[in-house]
Amino acid sequence: MTVIAPSILAADFARLGEETRAIAEAGADWIHLDVMDGHFVPNISFGPAIVKALRPWTDKLFDVHLMIAPADPYLAAFAEAGADAITVHVEAGPHIHRSLQTIRALGKRAGVALNPGTPASLIEPVLDMVDLVLVMTVNPGFGGQSFIGSALETVSRVKALTAGRTIGISVDGGVTPETAGPAAAAGADILVAGSAAFKGGPAEYGKNIAAIREAAATATGRDGARC
């Protein structure tokens, strides 16, 4: 079953608590939280205080995607704020092994992310240290961008590299009911969707999530029921 992880980057920021609860109740499996620093990526979103403020609004897994450099000084703050999984970019610093070690030592799921221009082979030395690999299918920094189909080659490579291990593969960026099928077929276990999940306001969230889930299930032949 494919995990659907709506990104609150596409939510109404003036009502983030209500939005987080609404998307959770509409069928989200995980909540994806995009942290941007205006340095590693050309946009600024939010930090650990917002993660902490949102924590009481749902029990769903908080999947924190750090697009910040350096990441290490902030890992404990995100863990304490209520992150369940923390993903750091392999491009964000020279000490990815140390970052992953720190996340695991904090008792959280450790993830490593790859930009569309980064080869999958770069994460091979740290596969023992990760629970998640996140493959970006847009250049990170903004929601609402178009899916970069060539990044699915990276998903397939990650799938082959992680065979026999219990590592989840996320696809993040431009996921819609149209692109969810190819992403799931290439090996994605987790689909992150911002714009496509939050499109149309709260009355549409259930339908939006179901459409992505259904497309993934059709493409993989796996059960589309909620997990």
Ligand X SMILES: O=C(CO)[C@H](O)[C@H](O)COP(=O)(O)O
19 touches Fe ion by CB under 5 A:
no
Closer by beta carbon to Fe ion, 5 or else 79: 5
Active-site residue, selected from the candidate residues 29, 34, 131, 189: 34
> Does 12 carry a binding-site annotation?
no
Helix H or strand E segment including 191 = strand 190-193
H helices of the chain, in order, are 16-25, 48-54, 75-81, 96-105, 152-161, 177-186, 195-198, 205-220
CB of 11 to Fe ion, least distance (A): 13
Among 6, 20, 22, 34, binds Fe ion (CB under 5 A): 34
What is the Cβ-side half-sphere exposure of residue 98, based on CA atoms within 13 angstroms? 8
Distance CA(177)–CA(150), nearest Å, equals 18
Q: Which is nearer to Fe ion, 79 or 85 (CB)?
A: 85
34 is catalytic: yes
State the minimum distance, in angstroms, from the CB of residue 105 to ligand X: 25
164 marked as binding residue: no
| Residues 103, 138 contacting (CB under 8 angstroms) | no
| Residues 110-129: x where in contact with Fe ion by CB under 5 A, - otherwise, as a string | --------------------
Q: How far is the CB of 46 from Fe ion (least distance, A)?
A: 13
Is 174 labelled as part of a ligand binding site? yes
Is residue 29 within the footprint of Fe ion (CB under 5 A)? no
Contact present, 174 and 137 (Cβ < 8 Å) = yes
Residue with the closest Cβ to ligand X?
Answer: 194
Q: Among candidates 53, 51, 62, which has minimal Cα distance to 24?
A: 62
Would you give the end-to-end CA distance of the chain in angstroms? 6
142 has binding-site annotation? yes
Give the one entry of Fe ion, ligand X, none that residue 173 binds, where binding means its C-beta sits below a cut-off of 5 to 8 angstroms depending on kind: ligand X
What is the closest distance, in whole angstroms, from the C-beta atom of residue 214 to ligand X in the complex? 17
Provide the 8-state DSSP code for 37. Answer: B
Identify which of 40, 75, 23 has the alpha carbon closest to the alpha carbon of residue 192: 23
Mapping DSSP to helix (H, G, I), strand (E, B) and coil, where does residue 42 land?
A: coil
Active site residue 172: yes
User: Is residue 89 near Fe ion by the rule CB under 5 A?
Assistant: no
Which region, judged by CB under 5 A, interacts with Fe ion, from 63-71, 76-84, 125-133, 200-208? 63-71
Q: Which residues are catalytic?
A: 34, 172
